[in-house]
Amino acid sequence: MNQRGQAFSVFELMIAGVVAFAILIILLMVIGNVGIGNYSDAKKVLGDAVKTAAPSGPATSQEFVIKKDEPITTSDLAVKTELDEKSMFFNYGQFDETRDSMSIGAEGDSLVYTGSTQKKLAAKVICAQTADDLVKKFALLEASTTPYTLDDPTARCEKVQPCCGIILIRSVR
């Protein structure tokens, strides 16, 4: 019959295959980013939040991903903020140590996530010039509608001012 018609249908099939392949690639890229999204490096995000909070009061960080068994320490943040590493400490905030697979060092100077996958979270950073001021700010935060578990910052803030508490929260929304 007509040879030209048959060649055109093969060409149409080839174009459909290329388009389907392109759509598949785009879908795989979107699905790959759904789990963790495009979140920034935890150390950079926390460092920026501490820099913002230190002179001007409370700050809330962007959401970030903390990776399994990759510790974040106050000395890492000190490099990014020009504050003394002893003037910052981590606090569980809205998280539970055992249920959420998180571990904060005894002095509050390190944070390690030991869960099976990456975890998305954010942080509130509250800074004050004295331990008493920080205790008052923590009390106001605890009285808010969102439940927080906050340690007494007095022992950590006696010798170093300003003192900043990095309080872990589930979301910035």
Do residues 21 and 70 both lie within one domain? no
pLDDT digits (tens, 9 = 90+) for 88-97: 889 888 888 7
Number of neighbours of residue 155 by Cβ within 10 angstroms: 12
By mean pLDDT, which of 59-73, 74-88, 135-149 is the weakest?
135-149
Do residues 49 and 123 both lie within one domain? yes
Query: What total number of domains does the chain contain?
Result: 2
Phi/psi for 55 (5° steps) reads -90, -25
Do residues 51 and 22 both lie within one domain? no
Alpha helices in 37-169, H assignment, sequence order: 42-56, 74-81, 131-142, 154-157
pLDDT of 18: 94
Do residues 47 and 15 both lie within one domain? no
For the full predicted model, state whether its pTM sits above 0.85: no
Do residues 19 and 59 both lie within one domain? no
Do residues 7 and 77 both lie within one domain? no
pLDDT digits (tens, 9 = 90+) for 53-63: 876 678 888 88
Phi/psi for 99 (5° steps) reads -65, -35
What letter does residue 40 receive in the DSSP assignment?
E
Do residues 85 and 162 both lie within one domain? yes
Do residues 9 and 74 both lie within one domain? no
Domain that holds residue 150: 40-169
HSE-up of 103 (CA within 13 Å, CB side)? 11
The burial of 44, by beta-carbon neighbours within 10 Å (0-12 exposed, 13-18 middle, 19 or more buried), is given as middle
- Strands (E) in the chain, as ranges, are 40-41, 59-60, 64-66, 72-73, 88-91, 102-104, 110-113, 119-128, 163-169
Do residues 83 and 143 both lie within one domain? yes
Q: What's CA 69's distance to the chain center, in Å?
A: 15
Closest CA to 172 of 124, 126, 111: 124
